[in-house]
Amino acid sequence: MIYQDQLDFAAMRQYASALKERAKLAGAPGEVSAIMLRDRILESGGRCEWCGCNLVGAEIELDHVVSLARGGSNTPANLVVACPDCNRRKAQKHPARFAVEIFSETGIRTDLVARILAHYRVEASRQLPLFSTNSDREKREAADNADAANPLPYRWED
In the chain, what is the straight-line distance between the N-terminal and C-terminal CA atoms, in Å?
45
Q: Cα–Cα distance between 106 and 158 in angstroms, integer?
A: 25
Which pLDDT tens digit goes with each residue over 74-103? Answer: 999 999 999 999 999 999 999 999 999 999
Task: Give the length of the chain.
Answer: 158
- Contact in structure between 80 and 62 (CB atoms under 8 Å): yes
Structural domain contains residue 111 = no
**Averaged pLDDT, 67-76:** 96
CATH code at 41? 1.10.30
What pLDDT is attached to residue 155? Answer: 45
Structural domain contains residue 54 = yes
What pLDDT is attached to residue 145? Answer: 53
Q: Which of 49-58, 116-125, 127-136, 139-148 has the lowest mean pLDDT?
A: 139-148
What pLDDT is attached to residue 17? Answer: 97
Structural domain contains residue 132 = no
Structural domain contains residue 13 = yes
Domain count, the chain: 1
Structural domain contains residue 73 = yes
Q: Which domain holds residue 77?
A: 9-89
What pLDDT is attached to residue 151? Answer: 46
Structural domain contains residue 124 = no
Write the CA distances from 105 to 85, 100, 126, 128, integer angstroms.
Answer: 14, 9, 7, 9
Which pLDDT tens digit goes with each residue over 49-60? Answer: 999 999 999 999
Prediction pTM value: 0.77
SS3 63: strand
**Averaged pLDDT, 39-65:** 96
